[in-house]
Chain A
Amino acid sequence: MKLDGRFGRFGGAYVPEILVPALEQLESAFLDAQTDEAFQAELATLLSTYAGRPTPLTRCRNLGGGATRIYLKREDLLHGGAHKTNQVLAQALLARRMGKTRLIAETGAGQHGVATALAGALFGLKTVVYMGADDVARQQLNVFRMELMGATVVPVTAGGRTLKDAVNEALRDWTASFENTHYLLGTVAGPHPFPLMVREFQRVIGKEAREQILALEGRLPDMVIACVGGGSNAIGIFSDFVDDPDVALIGIEAAGKGLDGSEHGATLLRGRTGILHGAETLLLQDSDGQVADTWSVSAGLDYPAVGPEHAHLQDIGRATYAGITDEDALDAFVALARAEGIVAAFESCHALAHALKLAESGNDQILLVNLSGRGDKDMAQAQRLLAAHSLRAAA
């Protein structure tokens, strides 16, 4: 490897020796592409004419009280329905550059799988998406979208049957297939170079948002807020603000049914240092190092590890992290729909819910929220949950 792949004491490349040459090939292709004008031009064209960049920055007209202004970075409007498409297009170009003919991916909520499926269709690459069997059941619509675009969705029945298990299966596939297959990992987790590479390919979110807020408000936001599962949308919007010391960076984890129990996905708030899926990072686990099963209403936040750079940003105090429960996320989901006419993904509603709490003060402040995905995939689940909700409210 040319770089050490570390973020402070986190990161690295903990994979079977047989995968190291594949990671070295990827690192090399990525570093070359970063300075290759033709690659950058093709990616920029895809992002603007295919994916729909730049995405708008929307000021909430009705949410946010007093002098608080809430701005939404509208990744929900990106082709594919979430920020995932940004980096998937870039990695698919890299896969082509490396001569790979097949893509594999893991997916939780299905958004990364959908993005990989669309890239596979676009570039004529055979695409296999691993998805936890429980996630397949709760995200049927996205499974159908992936299959419609020609991808094969493989339900994973091992372990907790969610995102973590899908990553395991994708890694197993890759140890046998790396010669013709690119593992299109969906977030800033995993072994080097994925955390660095995916950050650079998602940096466009924060770069645009910074320019947009300066144009609209003439100053930087007070806080940038994003949900964190693996952490790619958060790193994407944080990165161009990291060097602005007056901008607070706040990541929101899934507090699920409460941080005091075990049914949450709050790795940064409740995890201990460990090694999973190729990286040294914070991890929800028992005292022996067995990885814990996690819970969140949103499949995309239901992950027991987190991108190593988030662990580092927390370590050095540059970013802070908080939890939002299923209940509060669902309230924000409804509030955004009713007040602004926007149906956002459950994941993104965790970030919004935190902003709504901060807005209660009515202080003169600018809150920039990454609305990382749209809520179409969550409709069936929302219908069920809200029916139960109103039953409780009526009782």
Chain B
Amino acid sequence: MTRYAAMFARCAASNQAAFGAFLMLGDPNPVACADYLDALVAGGADMIELGIPFSDPVADGPVIQSAAARALAAGVRTADALALVADFRSRHANVPIGILTYANIVAARGIDAFCQELAAAGADSLLVADVPTLEAAPYSRAAKAAGIDLVMIAAPNTPQATLARIASLSGGYTYCVARVGVTGHGEAPRFDHRPLLDGLAAVGAPPPILGFGIGSAEQVTAALAEGVAGVISGSAIVERIARGEGPDEVAAFVADLKAGTRQPELRGVATSG
């Protein structure tokens, strides 16, 4: 059983949905980042999403752009980011780790070599923000060969034929975007995902996790009412690091968000996919 499948099973057994927390690797510097990574787990995150910084993150809003810029300014290279992942894995054997980055970071090492390096560092999945299903076949093959999952993004405007492609190319979970636009929590998520979730279920896609714009326990609860298997929060957490909050404060914030996945009315909603 993969770490994702085990995690979804654990959540389902305790009538909770999954909570994913995102950080940029190396933000604000590698040493401090390692403490923040532990804080995500301490706060109760079920799965961890980690960005490898890229100079031109076109799918990201200002908060995550700034996090990447801080990490790069601190001299963080891809090798440093992977070392942080390996280090985290040595302390947390069971937490699923997803890597989020951009195609050029993967291309620089070669798709196959990059996936092998992720697997060796202990990561469970790879999501490449600017690789849509049209271009995803070589990434899917390389991920499978390395024993990790390629995670794909699905949006409310993604046609059913593409959802079927997502089902065949991807694994782990399906990253459903909660609204149009780039990452960030300034603008409220839209909650009208029923057709998308039905479409994903119809083709047997990996469990849907909703991201983009989730920054409060209320939004977590609202998102889960849509019927997703979990949520991911990124910018709202990263912003706290940017403001200078320490690991304890970040852990407390994650705990607040995680609490939104334990609402009594959610019993039975979480699925093991």
Q: Per a CB cutoff under 8 Å, which of A13, A21, A275 touches B157?
A: A21
B78–A14 contact, CB under 8 A?
A: no
For the complex, give the distance between the alpha carbons of A158 and B62 in Å. 9
* B residues 91-136 in Cβ contact with A at 8 Å: 102-109, 129-135
B158–A18 contact, CB under 8 A?
A: yes
Known contacts A17-B153, A175-B59; A275/B130 CB under 8 A: yes
For the complex, give the distance between the alpha carbons of A179 and B157 in Å. 10
User: Cβ of A273 < 8 Å from any Cβ of B?
Assistant: yes
With both chains docked as a complex, state the minimum distance between the C-beta of A181 and any C-beta of chain B, in angstroms.
11
A14–B103 contact, CB under 8 A?
A: yes
A-B contact count (CB 8 A): 105
User: Cβ of A49 < 8 Å from any Cβ of B?
Assistant: no
A277 / chain B contacts, CB cutoff of 8 Å: 56, 58
User: Cβ of B195 < 8 Å from any Cβ of A?
Assistant: no
* A residues 1-38 in Cβ contact with B at 8 Å: 1, 12-21
* B residues 176-232 in Cβ contact with A at 8 Å: 177, 180-182
A283 / chain B contacts, CB cutoff of 8 Å: 104
For the complex, give the distance between the alpha carbons of A274 and B106 in Å. 9
Report B222-265 CB contacts with A as 1/0, cut-off 8 Å. 00000000000000000000000000000000000000000000
A291–B55 contact, CB under 8 A?
A: yes
For the complex, give the distance between the alpha carbons of A217 and B107 in Å. 48
B157–A289 contact, CB under 8 A?
A: no
A288–B78 contact, CB under 8 A?
A: yes
Number of B residues with CB within 8 Å of any CB on chain A: 40
User: Cβ of A365 < 8 Å from any Cβ of B?
Assistant: no
User: Cβ of A178 < 8 Å from any Cβ of B?
Assistant: yes
Known contacts A13-B134, A20-B162, A175-B182; A291/B104 CB under 8 A: yes
With both chains docked as a complex, state the minimum distance between the C-beta of B88 and any C-beta of chain A, in angstroms.
20
User: Cβ of B152 < 8 Å from any Cβ of A?
Assistant: yes
* A residues 263-280 in Cβ contact with B at 8 Å: 273-278, 280
A16–B108 contact, CB under 8 A?
A: no
For the complex, give the distance between the alpha carbons of A277 and B104 in Å. 10
A12–B72 contact, CB under 8 A?
A: no
B152 / chain A contacts, CB cutoff of 8 Å: 17
User: Cβ of A287 < 8 Å from any Cβ of B?
Assistant: yes
CB nearest neighbor in A for B76: A288
For the complex, give the distance between the alpha carbons of A14 and B152 in Å. 13
CB nearest neighbor in B for A280: B107
For the complex, give the distance between the alpha carbons of A23 and B85 in Å. 35
For the complex, give the distance between the alpha carbons of A306 and B53 in Å. 23
A280 / chain B contacts, CB cutoff of 8 Å: 107
For the complex, give the distance between the alpha carbons of A172 and B56 in Å. 11
User: Cβ of A383 < 8 Å from any Cβ of B?
Assistant: no
A15–B107 contact, CB under 8 A?
A: no
With both chains docked as a complex, state the minimum distance between the C-beta of B154 and any C-beta of chain A, in angstroms.
7
B135–A289 contact, CB under 8 A?
A: no
With both chains docked as a complex, state the minimum distance between the C-beta of B101 and any C-beta of chain A, in angstroms.
9
Looking at B54, B72, B180, the one whose CB has the most chain A CB atoms below 10 A away is B180
With both chains docked as a complex, state the minimum distance between the C-beta of A311 and any C-beta of chain B, in angstroms.
14
Number of A residues with CB within 8 Å of any CB on chain B: 36
Looking at B55, B103, B162, the one whose CB has the most chain A CB atoms below 10 A away is B55
CB nearest neighbor in B for A169: B58
CB nearest neighbor in A for B57: A168
A13–B108 contact, CB under 8 A?
A: no
B157–A18 contact, CB under 8 A?
A: yes
Known contacts A158-B65, A273-B107, A276-B104; A20/B56 CB under 8 A: no
For the complex, give the distance between the alpha carbons of A309 and B102 in Å. 22
B104–A172 contact, CB under 8 A?
A: no
User: Cβ of A285 < 8 Å from any Cβ of B?
Assistant: yes
User: Cβ of A124 < 8 Å from any Cβ of B?
Assistant: no
User: Cβ of A390 < 8 Å from any Cβ of B?
Assistant: no
* A residues 174-200 in Cβ contact with B at 8 Å: 175-179
A164–B56 contact, CB under 8 A?
A: yes
B157–A159 contact, CB under 8 A?
A: no
User: Cβ of B70 < 8 Å from any Cβ of A?
Assistant: no
Q: Per a CB cutoff under 8 Å, which of B131, B159, B177, B182 touches A172?
A: B182
A12 / chain B contacts, CB cutoff of 8 Å: 134-135
CB nearest neighbor in B for A289: B108
A176–B180 contact, CB under 8 A?
A: yes
User: Cβ of B61 < 8 Å from any Cβ of A?
Assistant: yes
Q: Per a CB cutoff under 8 Å, which of A17, A168, A274 touches B133?
A: A17
B132–A16 contact, CB under 8 A?
A: yes
A18–B155 contact, CB under 8 A?
A: yes
A168 / chain B contacts, CB cutoff of 8 Å: 56-58
A289 / chain B contacts, CB cutoff of 8 Å: 54, 78, 104-109
Known contacts A18-B180, A20-B132, A175-B180; A290/B155 CB under 8 A: no
Chain B positions within 8 Å of A, measured between CB atoms, are: 54-61, 65, 69, 72, 77-78, 102-109, 129-135, 152-155, 157-159, 162, 177, 180-182
Q: A16-B58, A18-B157, A273-B107 are in contact. List 15 more A-B contacts (CB 8 A).
A: A17-B158, A168-B57, A175-B59, A175-B181, A275-B102, A275-B107, A280-B107, A288-B77, A288-B105, A289-B54, A289-B104, A289-B105, A289-B107, A289-B109, A291-B56
Q: List 7 A-B contacts (CB under 8 A).
A: A13-B132, A172-B181, A275-B107, A287-B108, A291-B55, A291-B56, A291-B104
